[in-house]
Structure 1
Amino acid sequence: MTTHPFPAALNGLAGGAVHAVAANGLSPESLAVAGSITLIHASIGTMNDWVGRDTDRQTNPDKPLVRGTVTPGEALTASVLTAATGLAGAWATGAFAIGLAMLLAGAAYNLVLKGTLWSWAPYAVAIPSVAVWAFLAAGSTSPWIWLSYPVGAAMGVGLNLANTIPDIEGDAAVKAAGLAHRLGARRAQAAATALIAISGVAVGTLAFQTGQPSAGLAALAAGGAGAAIMTVQYSSGQRAALRRAWFACAFSAVGLAVCWAALLKGLVA
């Protein structure tokens, strides 16, 4: 059980897809990687709702813990169990340290950094870790896989901004001071859109420079499409449109992860 099924499932999807590329095909291990990453992110999301249940009463009345469809005890138990199972999966797939780093980054966000200027930092660790986990599970020991962190950091920050933007107005009631709150809605929207576009250009450029034009074109398309949809949705200003911009950013990130996997596969082969 998780109170944040969408981001958990999407991270798992990205991990499984990257592993399939790294391992030259979908396999039971690809599904194990996808499931384990999903569980880690499910734990992080449920922990987020458990930690923030009091402030959510003022800012997010639709959250399960606020509505009473999930009790605090159930949420805490679910977070612990999914974390333990996800870490067991990380161990089984040869990426325990990465799974632990991902979980600790999420815990740092939930417990300390969410309402601070450093709210983006856990995303900059957890998002690139998906690709590193998948390649380690596929048996790669190439130093190239660690390039995922600097390349993926911009994408992680963009995802943090896009995820926070729909809640900026409501968060004013509790004086939240994360990066998106400090930037303000308009500048946060511009930054999130720019970062997903920049991520596409970065992956695309590296792909072209390493002789992989197909991955380069796909990366430019994924980043460009995500940025274009985000721009259109942000122009509306309605909360539902802001959520759609977040979905566009997230799906674009999955596409970019697959492009990055194809690029890395060419480098480590």
Structure 2
Amino acid sequence: MSSATVVDRNRIGVLLRACHPAPAAAVTGLTAVMAAAAGRGPLGTLLTTGAVAAGQLSIGWSNDLVDRRRDAAAGRGDKPLAAGELTAGRLAAATRWAVACCVLLSAACGVAAATVHLVAVGAGWAYNLRLKAGAWSWLPYAVAFALLPAFVTLALPGRPWPAPQVLGAGALLGIAAHFANVLPDLAADRAAGVRGLPQRLGRRASAATAVLAASAAALLLAPGWPVLAVTAPPALTTLLAPPRSRAPFLAVIAAAALALAVLLLGDGLRG
């Protein structure tokens, strides 16, 4: 293996670590399952998944670009940009490529589908640029998660919207994901002056909000199931996980996957 190949792989690895890989992979994976189950076909599923992956990359990378000075001041060694493993110029260039790919792949899914997906990605950018530091920090997550199923269904023949309960459950899962994802960084965020809604409420109230929102989403997506079957994982994980653990977020995503599986085995996404 040549040294150039090793360097390229290292650069790719660093870029992937800078994109917030766990949330990006979770959102992309769930969307891929929805697209395949909704009947998008191999090509349609690939286009949908690629568009969402590119959008998630752009959101994750832009987040680190916006927060680079705050992360460096806080000594965030887990952030490649703040740790000096990556330059702002290289990350900005990667972000531009991700945005371009997101727009092109979304457009290939049709105008209606592309519009809702780009609104969802725009919500993620709005969170990074401004809303994460205020009491409306939950709103971009609610909007983006609600619109992901619409991105899938609006690319189908007839451009149907998802069932109303799917849109509502998506918004609730977005809120749950937001509160669970912020839990490990609450103390650091407060020290840096970030005052989103979870930082204002504190750890216990934020953990409870994540569990309640995930529970409500589960009731909408899987009304015939015992709610504990879907909500026990995020509830127990949130209560037992160490303060810096990402496990609560992953548990919420696991609960979302289970509820989604129940939905797909039943009436599906469309209204």
TM-score (norm 1): 0.85
What do you get for the CA RMSD once the two structures are aligned? Answer: 2.2
- The alpha-carbon deviation at position 91 of structure 1 amounts to 0.8
Within a 5 Å distance, the mapping from 1:148-187 to structure 2 comes to 148-187=166-205
Residue 248 of structure 1 corresponds to 251
Determine if contact 1:168/1:180 at 8 Å carries over to the other structure: yes
Determine if contact 1:124/1:153 at 8 Å carries over to the other structure: yes
Determine if contact 1:14/1:258 at 8 Å carries over to the other structure: no
Q: Say which structure, 1 or 2, has more relative contact order (CA 8 Å, 6+ apart).
A: 1
- The alpha-carbon deviation at position 199 of structure 1 amounts to 1.3
> What's the % identity of the aligned pairs?
29
- The alpha-carbon deviation at position 47 of structure 1 amounts to 0.2
Residue 83 of structure 2 corresponds to 67
Give unpaired runs (5+ residues) of structure 1.
Answer: 209-215
Residue 211 of structure 1 corresponds to none
- The alpha-carbon deviation at position 56 of structure 1 amounts to 0.8
For 1:182 and 1:140, how far apart are their aligned partners in 2? 44
- The alpha-carbon deviation at position 230 of structure 1 amounts to 2.7
Which of 34, 37, 43 matches 1:28? 43
Give unpaired runs (5+ residues) of structure 2.
Answer: 1-14
Higher percent of residues as helix? 1
Aligned in 2, Cα 1:160/1:128: closer, same or farther, shift over 3 Å?
Answer: same
TM-score (norm 2): 0.84
- In structure 1, give the amino acid aligned to 2:27: N
Residue 118 of structure 2 corresponds to 100
SS in structure 2 opposite 1:160? helix
Determine if contact 1:196/1:227 at 8 Å carries over to the other structure: no
- In structure 1, give the amino acid aligned to 2:94: A
Q: Give the aligned length.
A: 252
Determine if contact 1:19/1:138 at 8 Å carries over to the other structure: no
Residue 44 of structure 1 corresponds to 59
Residue 130 of structure 2 corresponds to 112
- In structure 2, give the amino acid aligned to 1:173: A
Residue 237 of structure 2 corresponds to 229
Residue 3 of structure 2 corresponds to none
- In structure 1, give the amino acid aligned to 2:216: I
Which of 260, 264, 268 matches 1:265? 268
SS in structure 2 opposite 1:265? coil
Aligned in 2, Cα 1:87/1:264: closer, same or farther, shift over 3 Å?
Answer: farther
Deviations along 1:170-203, one digit per CA (max 9) or x if unpaired, are 1122121101001011111111122112211222
